[in-house]
Amino acid sequence: MIGAVVFDLDGVIVDSERVWDEVREQYTRESGGRYTETAARDMMGMSAPEWSRYMADVLGVPGTPAEIDARVVELMLRRYGEAPPLIPGAVEAVRRVGAGWPLAIASSSNPELIEVVLRVSGLDRDVRIAVSSQEVARGKPAPDVYLEAARRLGVDPTHCVAVEDSENGIRSAHAAGMPVVVIPNPHFAPADDALALAACTLDTIGELDADVISRAGE
């Protein structure tokens, strides 16, 4: 029996994966670091402490991880302004699903970025719980952020359905024991072995409704 639905944020509700990549790349290059071809995919799903340390240790960005995190989030908030790039149909899809089950967010974004997206979209009235991977020990693909979302909801993880787009996100939700509805990120396509973990795969979030969630939970 499905007790709740847990959504990823970046790439599912807001089209921000490319924004993260652009901001990190620009900051890395302008600060004298080396942005590699694999950097964007490597950092996808990492928590703030993890990706900021990666930028310091691997990409050669000067400063402490805390300083790098603060600067990147400042640049992200500046890019978001009051108009984060919401994916068409996402808000309506979340509300359709929310009519049937309690909702949570399990995101790799920093809490202040999650708050902006939920507030501006109006989904702060629909989403009961929002968890950032910054609040747990490990980022995606570890299951920590999904397990914490389920804990705060008071629902067994195996009775939650996750909605994800990225390879590390799929692995994270699956490791938490959740069936996963996958809407593959068109910019950073998940590997085939990650897609094979999906309970259901959709082309767009506009296809997401209660029937899809119910089938995924079977």
Residues β-bridged to residue 162: 6, 180
CATH architecture designation of domain 4-15+85-217: 3-Layer(aba) Sandwich (3.40)
What gap in Å lies between CA 199 and CA 84, rounded to an integer? 29
Tell me the pTM. 0.86
Domain 17-80 has CATH 1.50.10: no
Pick the most confident of 72-76, 80-84, 94-98.
Answer: 94-98
Q: For the chain, how big is the Rg over CA atoms in Å?
A: 16
- Rounded to an integer, the average pLDDT of 74-93 is 89
> How remote is the C-alpha of 209 from its chain's centroid?
19
And the tokens for 165?
């787009």
Contact 199, 216 (CB under 8 A): yes
Q: If pLDDT is split at 50, 70 and 90, which confidence band does 45 have?
A: confident
CA-nearest of 183, 129, 182 to 155 is 129
| Residue 111 preceded by cis peptide, ω within 30 | no
Where are the chain's structural domains? Answer: 4-15+85-217, 17-80
